[in-house]
Amino acid sequence: MSRESCLDHVPTEVDELSVRVAILKERFAKQKVSVKLEHEGELAYVRTRFTEFRRRVQELQEADDTELARFEEVRAVETLLSALS
């Protein structure tokens, strides 16, 4: 699999994160300060996911053919785990 085809998934993931951030911003705007703490866990999840995503994109951009194959295997396992949960 080529680097370009792997990177084709980047816009989709960015869109998903953007939607999630927009939802959180909307929720925060509607909440009182004391209630905003309810969403702290979800906000932490989004931050962690984005950090991991950014790290993966950087690794993918620097990857050789062997590493690209490993990325594809990892993505397949993550897809399977996501489907099972």
pLDDT tens for each residue of 7-55: 777 788 888 888 888 888 888 777 776 665 667 777 788 888 888 888 8
Which residues, other chains included, contact 29 with Cβ-Cβ below 8 Å and sequence gap of 6+? Answer: none
Residues 6+ apart with CB under 8 A from 9: none
Q: What is the pLDDT of residue 38?
A: 67
Per-residue model confidence (pLDDT) at position 2: 65
1 pLDDT above the threshold of 60 = no
Q: What share of the chain is helix, strand, coil (3-state, %, to 5)?
A: 85, 0, 15
Read off the DSSP letter of residue 31. S
Average pLDDT, the chain: 78
- Spatial contact of 67 and 59, defined as CB atoms under 8 Å apart: yes
Question: Which residue shows structure tokens 């785990």?
Answer: 81
